[in-house]
Amino acid sequence: MPKVALVTGSNKGIGFAIVRSLCKQFNGDVFLSGRDAGRGTAAVESLNSEGLKPLFQQLDINDPESVRAARDFFNEKYGGLDVLVNNAGIAFKNADTTPFGTQAEVTLKTNFFATRDMCNEFLPIIKPGGRVVNVSSVMSSIALNRCSPELQARFRSNDITEEELVGLMERFVQEAQAGAHSQGGWPDTAYGVSKTGLTVLSRIHACKLRHERPADQILLNACCPGWVRTDMAGPNATKSPDEGAITPVYLALLPAGAGEPQGQFVMDKKVQPW
């Protein structure tokens, strides 16, 4: 059975560049995925013109039925998944006038809650020796440092549970909607908080894998691709999408038998303090 890799939200931007790089380096089938089949197919055709052969899977991480259908497909056709790159994410532009409470709800719905759902559906089918990469952001550590000392202590603690983390993310959304997030110890960045949550979730899930499936040697990490020229970050960013793909692909292709990094936040292929 061939090995198989899946990249979420990959019909454009960093995700598209990750698929391109995996097609060149990964010994197996590489799936590009996205909500829109038309855009996804066009992205596959674009890579076909470069001589690359990705496959397409329709996947909307905000739709639980779509997530489960994709999980079942990979389980039935490949007996699971070897590489999962959770790249799908959204960000409001700085100039966006959408109320902060709405921005908080919408941003966390995709970047934290839907990505968590992806992990909880797909982690059980990650094969021994598998790799999971959660595309976070340096904003996760910037936002962390702007949180109250109490919140920082919880987000850095080794005993925070997934349930507690979910509760904190829900609290942020509620306090943002009530206009009380600053009093609650939160920074003024919904995107940053969503990525703080994702980085902490990565630490929790890696710890769980280490305890529950130690012999499987699955490595799960969060990373920052850098400031990349995409629709999200704009044209002034310093890295091309292909440069942004370097660290996620490095983590996706960590060699067999590697024991680390595990549960870390990685930038420019280096583990960052959390």
Q: How many CB atoms lie within 10 A of CB 75?
A: 14
Which helix (H) or strand (E) covers residue 248, if one does? Answer: helix 246-252
What would the DSSP string read from start to end of 121-143? HHGGGEEEEEEEEEE--HHHHHH
User: Residues 78, 191, 250, 265: which is the catalytic one?
Assistant: 191
Distance CA 240, CA 10 (A): 15
Nearest to 230 by CA among 13, 6, 1: 13
Q: Token digits for 87? A: 């790249």
Coil, strand, or helix at residue 36?
Answer: coil
Q: Is 191 a catalytic residue?
A: yes
What SS3 class is residue 59? coil
Structure tokens belonging to residue 80: 């699971």
- How is the beta sheet containing 55-58 ordered, strand by strand? 55-58, 29-34, 4-7, 81-86, 126-135, 219-224, 265-267, 270-272
Active site positions, annotated: 191
